[in-house]
Amino acid sequence: MSTTRWDISLPVVGDRLADRELAPYLLVGPTIVTVFLVTIGPMLWSLWLSFNRWKPGSLAYQEPTFTGVDNFAWLFTNDRFIHSVVNFAYYGGVGVFIQVALGTLLALALYNYVENQTLRVGLLTLFVVPMMYAPLVAGRMWQLLFLPGGGVVNGFLGILGLPQPSWLGSRWLGLTSIMVADTWRASLSDSLYEAAQVDGASRWMMFRRITLPQLRNLIIVAAILRFMDAYKFFDKLFVMTNGGPGSTTELPTYFTYLVGFQNFNIGRAAALTWVLGLGSIITMMLFWRYMRTVEEV
């Protein structure tokens, strides 16, 4: 790092070279210490705990006791955990896909068919309003709408003789993708579409070869944001179903909560957290790679 740069940007700590070299560390030091104490430290501790059996409140394992990979072995043979991962694959995979796809299409439709600028922004705002609700409030409201047997939406579907799916978990149409797609489309030059028209392209070809490839990176971002939301989908589940009936709608995060804070099986909960965290990172990386290859037309 060049010293001249510090000369310009820093209030002088001292004139000696030693001071100048020390100054940057002094300035970022408190942040680094804080980050270590509240994030990195606990993470490492939980990694260590995941190889221990520790049940505060029980007689046998008052203190952490090293048990090797026992926690992980328990985890991967636990039906309830496997089931919760399957649930998550459904919500996080199918749900996010549907949300992002619908959100993108809705935004494009909004852009292409609503020419009045004020109306368009107004509609966009309406779509996004639910994002501002406190998650618990939104959870209760959706519960009222989608309650199996008695919920408004399923009631309607029942009247129409349609199947009544379990809606809980799918959040309103991937709002993130709407915003992202709309912002993007508004910034894209019209002359690309005019060029495509002149080149004789059909609507489908314009969508497939111009709109979609250009949207790709933003779709990735939207999908990752939605995936993160789905992963953290804990509060609404807690409010709406408590994981039930039985454990049928349980998600991994909720299961982790039960293991950690109801059974106080800290070691197992730590193992769960690490498996889930690494799992999501790997999933996202694979998804990202896949999307990068898909985009090349």
Identity of the residue, 79 or 296, whose beta carbon is nearer to other proteins in the bound complex: 296
Identity of the residue, 113 or 204, whose beta carbon is nearer to other proteins in the bound complex: 204
236-295 binders of other proteins (CB under 8 A): 295
Please, what is the minimum distance in Å from the beta carbon of residue 191 to other proteins? 4
Round to whole Å and give the CA distance between 205 and 208: 5
Please, what is the minimum distance in Å from the beta carbon of residue 101 to other proteins? 20
Contacts of 60 by beta carbon, 8 Å cutoff, 6+ apart: none
Strands, E, within 13-126: which ranges?
52-53, 65-66
What is the dihedral sign for C-alpha 218, 223, 224, 229?
Answer: positive
Contacts of 62 by beta carbon, 8 Å cutoff, 6+ apart: 55, 56
Rg (CA), the chain: 25
Are the C-beta atoms of 165 and 95 separated by less than 8 Å?
A: no
Long-range contact set of residues 255-264: C-beta below 8 Å, sequence gap at least 24: 255/80, 255/81, 255/84, 263/55, 264/55, 264/56, 264/57, 264/58
Please, what is the minimum distance in Å from the beta carbon of residue 204 to other proteins? 11
Identity of the residue, 35 or 192, whose beta carbon is nearer to other proteins in the bound complex: 192
- Asked whether position 105 contacts other proteins by CB under 8 A, the answer is no
155-184 binders of other proteins (CB under 8 A): none
> Angle CA(199)–CA(193)–CA(175) in degrees, nearest 5?
145
74-103 binders of other proteins (CB under 8 A): none
Identity of the residue, 21 or 194, whose beta carbon is nearer to other proteins in the bound complex: 194
Round to whole Å and give the CA distance between 172 and 4: 53
Up-side HSE of residue 216: CA atoms within 13 Å toward CB?
16
Round to whole Å and give the CA distance between 286 and 264: 34
Please, what is the minimum distance in Å from the beta carbon of residue 210 to other proteins? 6
- Which of 77, 189, 262, 293 touches other proteins by CB under 8 A? 189
- Part in contact with other proteins (CB under 8 A); list of ranges 42-50, 95-103, 120-128, 186-194: 186-194
Identity of the residue, 202 or 263, whose beta carbon is nearer to other proteins in the bound complex: 202
Largest CA distance in the chain: 82
191-210 binders of other proteins (CB under 8 A): 191-192, 194-202, 205, 209-210
State the number of binding residues for other proteins (CB under 8 A).
19
Identity of the residue, 208 or 232, whose beta carbon is nearer to other proteins in the bound complex: 208
Per-residue string for binding with other proteins, 208-237, x by CB under 8 A? -xx--xx-----------------------
Identity of the residue, 235 or 295, whose beta carbon is nearer to other proteins in the bound complex: 295
Percent helix, strand, coil in the chain, to 5, is 75, 0, 25
Identity of the residue, 203 or 232, whose beta carbon is nearer to other proteins in the bound complex: 203
Residues lying near other proteins in the complex (CB under 8 A) are found at: 189, 191-192, 194-202, 205, 209-210, 213-214, 295, 297
